[in-house]
């Protein structure tokens, strides 16, 4: 049958003929294209063989299991992943932990990590950098674009690893006080996942061209707090050799009394008496617990989850009354950003319109320190007479909420004589909306990763941003390689001491400064420090 012009059958024949022609052309082209494509990089890990992909010269393996599905062992220490046959694709991110954030709902089968490396099995003994994500102990994962390790690999010839682990009620609900030995691991299960991940890194560093004897853990916000906690956990001793924390401290842990009080609240919410019943609740139902009001706070704040002083896995508070003895020889960098709380409080336009009459009540609610707001405001007006009421608000909440833990850790390390460097990020890309948020919480993440052009970065892409990324990422790389963050692009960065409190201020004119914001430090030193949520 002949198809005439305009006949639908003619269009079908023409399309079929075109596809046949394309198919023949593709068939001829495929061998040439395949020859040009780099072969999938293959690695052997304890579970079996894995296939990654090469991206701009860096071998990337995503979603490598380092533990088994935690659902059958909810609230218990995880076990190793089951082995597999053949080659397992490591091309996609593993599931995030169960959570209520945008990455949720997640999965209890969440023990996965990701690796970026310049080479495999070449005996390169490169420094290994393991990043622990933020999100307090409640949310987040190792797959954020800002954590892409490619730039660090290319810039510093290092191996980069990011990790997922159990969070919130699944990783830090302490049931040991109510359920006995069967729940002895529950309050620190998320930390034990990190220990297991670091054990995996030590076992496999050589396969990925890394040095198992030179592992740096680095992390921001909750990631830094997790690192501070690991430094006091006997099970983590020897698994890492340098620590770099950014706006994340853990001075005290939750005591067993407070942690048990929270566990009771969870049981009451579900109408249960026996903690065993929590093991079989659907994951999505159990996640409701993160929305419960915390009994220790006045304002309506979600239930606190974090490491627990369980006399088993965490025998002492991480940094009180002293820095952990087991980590005294580990070089450490402790940093914060100059305007931390603008990330949390800077999205409410009313906070930029405060006056001296409305400031006291607002500050009373948000500074998290038991000092009279009137005394705090008077002190700031003496120290910074040019500040507006809103500038006092952001500065005081930063010093009272975010910065105090860093000072506590720095002082504890200095008393110990442990090698420690302090930094403060003052830099931000001046102009426009950046002038409102300034050097806000999380701004240093894309700078240390040198990922200023990645989705989610709010550094801008100016020459100034590139210079700051050069300075901060090179400091991290120098620290990972030598245990000292100094490099040729910075003024000399002296370790922190109680006599001078030396701090590297990262800015367009980066400089070493003695005791920056010393007046603010002395103001808040009038009251004892207990990490919020741990009592």
pLDDT at 38: 73
Helix axis angle for 359-366 and 373-383, nearest 10°, is: 110
**Under 8 Å between Cβ of 473 and 131:** no
The whole-number average pLDDT for the span 52-81 is 98
pLDDT at 402: 83
Give the C-alpha separation, 158 to 199, whole Å. Answer: 19
pLDDT at 295: 86
pLDDT at 465: 98
Higher pLDDT, 433 or 472: 472
What pLDDT band is residue 300 in, cutting at 50, 70 and 90?
low
For the chain, what are the domain ranges?
Answer: 42-291, 343-472+488-524
CB neighbour list of residue 257: distance below 8 Å, 6 or more residues apart? 177
pLDDT at 11: 33
How many Cα atoms within 13 Å fall on the side-chain side of residue 141?
Answer: 26
- Using a 10 angstrom Cβ sphere, with 0-12 exposed, 13-18 middle and 19 or more buried, the burial of residue 1 is exposed
Give the C-alpha separation, 12 to 26, whole Å. Answer: 21
**Under 8 Å between Cβ of 202 and 239:** yes
**Under 8 Å between Cβ of 472 and 444:** yes
User: Residues of the chain with pLDDT > 70: what percent?
Assistant: 92
| Residues designated as active site | 221, 340, 441
Helix (H, G, I), strand (E, B) or coil at 147: helix
pTM as predicted: 0.93
Distance of CA 4 to the CA centre of its chain: 66
Q: For residue range 486-509, list pLDDT tens digits in order.
A: 999 999 999 999 999 999 999 999
Q: For residue range 249-299, list pLDDT tens digits in order.
A: 999 999 999 999 999 999 999 999 999 999 999 999 999 999 999 987 655
pLDDT at 297: 66
Q: What is the mean pLDDT of the chain?
A: 93
Confirm or reject CATH 3.40.50.1820 for domain 42-291, answering yes or no. yes
pLDDT at 341: 97
Q: For residue range 219-260, list pLDDT tens digits in order.
A: 999 999 999 999 999 999 999 999 999 999 999 999 999 999
The whole-number average pLDDT for the span 177-201 is 98
């Amino acid at each position: 049958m002949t198809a005439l012009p305009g006949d639908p059958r003619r269009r079908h024949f023409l399309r079929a003929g075109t596809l046949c022609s394309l198919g023949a052309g593709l068939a001829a082209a495929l061998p040439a294209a395949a020859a040009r494509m780099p072969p999938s990089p293959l690695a052997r890990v304890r579970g079996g063989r894995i296939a990654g992909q090469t991206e701009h010269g860096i071998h990337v393996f995503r979603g490598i299991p380092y533990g088994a599905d935690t659902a059958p062992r909810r609230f218990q220490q995880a076990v190793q992943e089951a082995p597999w046959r053949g080659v397992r694709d490591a091309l996609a991110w593993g599931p995030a932990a169960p959570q209520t954030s945008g990455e949720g709902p997640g999965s209890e089968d969440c023990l996965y990590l990701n690796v970026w490396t310049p080479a495999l099995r070449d005996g390169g003994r490169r420094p290994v950098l393991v990043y622990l994500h933020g999100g307090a102990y409640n949310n987040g994962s190792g797959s954020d674009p800002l954590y892409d390790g490619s730039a660090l690999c290319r810039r510093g010839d290092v191996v980069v690893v990011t990790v997922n682990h159990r969070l919130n009620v699944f990783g830090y609900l302490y049931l040991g006080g109510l359920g006995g030995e069967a729940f002895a691991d529950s309050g620190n299960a998320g930390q034990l996942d990190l220990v297991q991940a670091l054990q995996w890194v030590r076992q496999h560093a050589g396969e990925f061209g890394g040095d198992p004897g030179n592992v740096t853990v680095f992390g921001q916000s909750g990631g830094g707090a997790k690192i501070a906690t690991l430094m006091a956990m006997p099970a983590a001793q020897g698994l890492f050799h340098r620590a770099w924390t950014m706006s994340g401290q853990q001075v005290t842990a939750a005591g067993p009394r407070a942690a048990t009080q929270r566990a009771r609240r969870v049981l009451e919410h579900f109408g249960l008496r026996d903690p065993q019943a929590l093991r079989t609740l659907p994951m999505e139902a159990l996640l409701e617990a993160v929305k419960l009001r915390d009994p220790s706070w006045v304002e309506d704040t979600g239930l606190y989850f974090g490491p627990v002083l369980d006399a088993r896995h965490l025998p002492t508070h991480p940094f009180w009354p002293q820095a952990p003895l087991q980590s005294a020889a580990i070089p450490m960098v402790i940093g914060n950003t100059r305007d931390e709380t603008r990330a949390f409080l800077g999205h409410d336009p009313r906070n930029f319109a405060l006056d001296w009459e409305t400031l006291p009540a607002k500050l009373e609610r948000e500074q998290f320190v038991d000092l009279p707001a009137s005394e705090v405001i008077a002190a700031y007006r003496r120290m910074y007479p040019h500040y507006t009421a809103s500038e006092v608000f952001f500065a005081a909440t930063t010093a009272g909420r975010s910065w105090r833990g860093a000072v506590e850790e720095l002082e504890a390390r200095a008393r110990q004589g442990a090698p420690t460097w302090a930094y403060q990020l003052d830099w931000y890309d001046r102009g426009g909306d950046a002038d409102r948020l300034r050097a806000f919480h999380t701004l240093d993440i894309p700078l240390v990763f040198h990922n200023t052009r990645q989705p989610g970065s709010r550094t801008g892409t100016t020459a100034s941003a590139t210079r700051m990324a050069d300075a901060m990422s090179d400091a991290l790389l120098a620290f990972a390689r030598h245990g000292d963050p100094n490099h040729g692009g910075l003024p000399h960065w002296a370790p922190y001491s109680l006599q001078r409190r030396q701090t590297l201020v990262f800015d367009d004119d980066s400089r070493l400064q003695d005791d920056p914001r010393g007046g603010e430090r002395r103001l808040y030193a009038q009251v004892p420090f207990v990490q919020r949520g741990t009592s």
